[in-house]
Amino acid sequence: MFGQLKRRWNVNGFDLLLIIFTFAIGGSLCGFLGRQLLLITGLEKGLLWVVIYIIVMTLIWPLCVLVVSIPFGQLDFFRKYLLKIAQRMHLTQAKSTQIAIFASGAGSNADKIIQHLHGSGEKSIVVKLILCNKEGAGVLDIAKRHGIETVLIERERFFQGDHYLPVLRQHGIDFIVLAGFLWKVPAALIAAFPDKMVNIHPALLPKFGGKGMYGNKVHEAVIAAGEKESGITIHFVDEIYDHGKIVRQAKCSVDQGETPESLAKKIHSLEHKHFPEAISNLLNAK
């Protein structure tokens, strides 16, 4: 259960403990204040007392947890948490997060991400744009099937020009997902989306990462090294290849007689299962 909460809220174990303490102490404070306020009314305990008590508790609970969250350093988390509750109750209007997916190949991960967001009825996260650096790549067909606009990236403009930042701004992009994108992202583009760009790597970083480590090259290296397990790493993107803060990892065994092709199938299965969920959890926790 605690592991699920850590992934859902995108927090570490220590912060999760502080969040739980805030919920507990904030709830206790709310109950105490609610009873004290009702004492002032002089009402006898009965049905009316219970109804008013519930109403008072509902009104003061957000304030109590916000106050308690300050000394625990969790004010930002609870501010966002309460805002999402208000949005789900239609008390405030939610602004959807607009995603751009960068891909170079068949686009199976992009397809799974789109299916996950659409299939779950997720309205707060929208795949707005798919950018590809390879003409005729399968991901372009996937985008067309889902009715998502595409942009074919030109090398010179991407590396030496405006890095397609005006295009991303024009479409209101809030977050970037690299799903099998084989070009190194320019520093200016990374700087424009700080902690708002994630990548997936087909190995357990920090092992088997870096320049030139992609696809079957990674699986070949894992098998050659005699590793007993491999997996995937979902991480934020910084200016160093496969280096940013890790969001999630998932593992699989490397069996005797494993081939790069058989290991690739296991890795793809992990990617399709975890990448869409990790993106949803990450953005819903913001």
Neighbour tally for 134: CB within 10 Å: 16
Two structure tokens written together for 40: 């002032």
Report the pLDDT value the prediction gives residue 198, as an integer from 0 to 100. Answer: 96
Least confident segment among 82-96, 149-163, 189-203: 82-96
Neighbour-count burial of 154, counting CB atoms closer than 10 A to its CB (0-12 exposed, 13-18 middle, 19+ buried):
exposed
60 and 117 co-located in one domain: no
118 and 148 co-located in one domain: yes
Segment 235-245 mean pLDDT: 91
Question: Does 110 have pLDDT greater than 80?
Answer: yes
Choose the final residue of a domain: 55, 88, 121: 88
260 and 150 co-located in one domain: yes
Q: Is the peptide bond prior to 206 cis by the omega test (within 30 degrees of 0)?
A: yes
Question: Does 91 have pLDDT greater than 60?
Answer: no
129 and 74 co-located in one domain: no
49 and 117 co-located in one domain: no
Segment 204-224 mean pLDDT: 92
Q: Outline where DSSP puts E strands in 19-96.
A: none
Question: Does 96 have pLDDT greater than 90?
Answer: no
133 and 235 co-located in one domain: yes
Query: How does pLDDT run across 113-169, given as a tens digit for each residue?
Result: 999 887 655 567 889 999 999 999 999 999 999 999 999 999 999 999 999 999 999
How high is the mean pLDDT of the chain? 89
Segment 157-182 mean pLDDT: 94
How are strands ordered across the β-sheet holding 149-152? 149-152, 125-132, 97-103, 175-178, 197-201, 229-236, 246-253
Phi (first) and psi of residue 71, to 5 degrees = -65, -20
102 and 182 co-located in one domain: yes
Instruction: Write out the catalytic residue numbers.
Output: 201
Segment 63-74 mean pLDDT: 91
Report the pLDDT value the prediction gives residue 1, as an integer from 0 to 100. Answer: 66
Report the pLDDT value the prediction gives residue 121, as an integer from 0 to 100. Answer: 57
DSSP track, 182-202: -SPPPHHHHHHSTT-EEEEES
Pairing of strands 197-201, 125-132: unpaired
Segment 72-97 mean pLDDT: 74
Choose the final residue of a domain: 59, 88, 117: 88
CATH number at residue 172: 3.40.50.170
CA angle 238, 283, 4 (to 5 degrees): 105
Pairing of strands 229-236, 246-253: antiparallel
Q: For residue 211, name the pLDDT band (cuts at 50, 70, 90).
A: confident
35 and 54 co-located in one domain: yes
The letter for the amino acid at 212 is G
Query: How does pLDDT run across 24-40, given as a tens digit for each residue?
Result: 999 999 989 988 888 88
Q: Is the pTM of this model over 0.75?
A: no
Pairing of strands 97-103, 229-236: unpaired
Question: Does 79 have pLDDT greater than 90?
Answer: no
| Residue among 110, 159, 105, 112 at smallest CA distance from 132 | 105
Segment 241-248 mean pLDDT: 90
CA angle 129, 133, 134 (to 5 degrees): 115
For the chain, the domain total comes to 2
79 and 118 co-located in one domain: no
Choose the final residue of a domain: 88, 112, 146: 88
Report the pLDDT value the prediction gives residue 85, as an integer from 0 to 100. Answer: 77
Segment 63-90 mean pLDDT: 82
Residue 28 sits in which domain range? 2-88
As a whole number of angstroms, the distance between CA 242 and CA 233 comes to 9
As a whole number of angstroms, the distance between CA 87 and CA 1 comes to 25
32 and 68 co-located in one domain: yes
Q: What is residue 214's three-state secondary structure?
A: coil
Report the pLDDT value the prediction gives residue 92, as an integer from 0 to 100. Answer: 53
Neighbour tally for 275: CB within 10 Å: 24
CA angle 129, 177, 136 (to 5 degrees): 55
Report the pLDDT value the prediction gives residue 80, as an integer from 0 to 100. Answer: 76
129 and 29 co-located in one domain: no
Q: Outline where DSSP puts E strands in 82-228.
A: 97-103, 125-132, 149-152, 175-178, 197-201
